[in-house]
Amino acid sequence: MKGCMYKTILVPVESTEYDKVILGHVVPMAQCSGAKLILFHVADGWAARYFSEDADSPEVREDREYLDKLAAQLREKGIEVEAVLGYGDPGDEIVKLAHARKCDLIAMTTHGHRFISDLLYGSAVHKVRHAVDIPVLLLRAPSKREL
């Protein structure tokens, strides 16, 4: 893997059909370069928000199961994968993990929100792209009609 541009790629996933979009792009990159993928999902729900790592709710268990299943599927393709479940604000947590794991690239989908929507609701993409000094690959997710 010496000389490869990306050795560790952080891939935030949402537990939705949109995950196929970003994985369809980064899986071939990882297979070509031997890069490790870090799949990252930030748990959402009252238990996750209030109890963080101590949370044990159906939603948190489903999130863990989803990450484990996704990681197993990628390992079957010969990809080195780490699955991480986070708690808190998605944008902040993505940035923290990227720094902690010394990622070379963050690859994520964007849903095409516009400026006003981002101001009103916040955007993990907006936070991430302004807070890291590594490349961020953004793929616009198709609309639900296109999936």
pLDDT in tens, 54-112: 556 667 788 899 999 999 999 999 999 999 998 888 898 999 999 999 999 999 988 65
Better-scored residue on pLDDT, 131 or 67: 67
Which strands sit side by side in the sheet containing 81-87, from one edge to the other? 81-87, 36-43, 8-12, 105-110, 136-140
Average pLDDT over residues 101-129: 72
Domains in the chain and their CATH numbers? 8-140 (3.40.50.620)
For the chain, what percent of residues have pLDDT higher than 70?
Answer: 76
pLDDT given for residue 51 in this prediction = 53
Q: What global pTM score does this model have? A: 0.84
